[in-house]
Amino acid sequence: MPTRVKSIKDIKVGELFEDCAFHPCLCILAGSKDDEDGVEGISLVDGSGPRCCSANHCGLRILTVEEAVHWKFHGPRDQELDQKDRWWEKKT
């Protein structure tokens, strides 16, 4: 089960997390001098980034490798997304 990020201390560079759009992401920045609460990641869905979020306000969750792989190909297990946001169903 994903672990909720409650503060910037809960996430570290290199960890996998779910961003505000439910994309599984690789964390590349966790807090900075300019944004102590900021988290940046690279999407494992489409490589977009940096995907910027707030550790305190975005409802981020830490993912295991297995969860991140599932999210990429099948979407989050415990969230129902609008049809337009279901990247795993889009034809390329």
How do the pLDDT tens digits run along the chain, 92 residues long? Answer: 899 999 999 999 999 999 989 999 999 999 999 999 999 999 999 999 899 999 999 999 999 999 999 999 999 999 899 999 898 987 65
Which pair of structure tokens corresponds to residue 67? Answer: 């969860």
Give the count of domains, the chain. 1
Q: 1 exposed, middle or buried (CB, 10 Å; 0-12, 13-18, 19+)?
A: exposed
The model carries a pTM of 0.89
If one counts every other C-beta atom within 10 angstroms of the C-beta of residue 9, the result is 10
Q: So what's the pLDDT on residue 90? A: 78
Provide the CA 59 distance to its chain's centre, in angstroms: 9
Note whether residue 36 is domain-resident: yes
Query: The domain that contains 60 carries what CATH number?
Result: 2.30.30
- Residue 92 included in any domain: no
pLDDT digits (tens, 9 = 90+) for 72-85: 999 999 989 999 98
Q: Which domain holds residue 35?
A: 3-78
Give dist(CA 28, CA 40) in Å, integer.
6
Whether 84 maps to a domain, the answer reads no
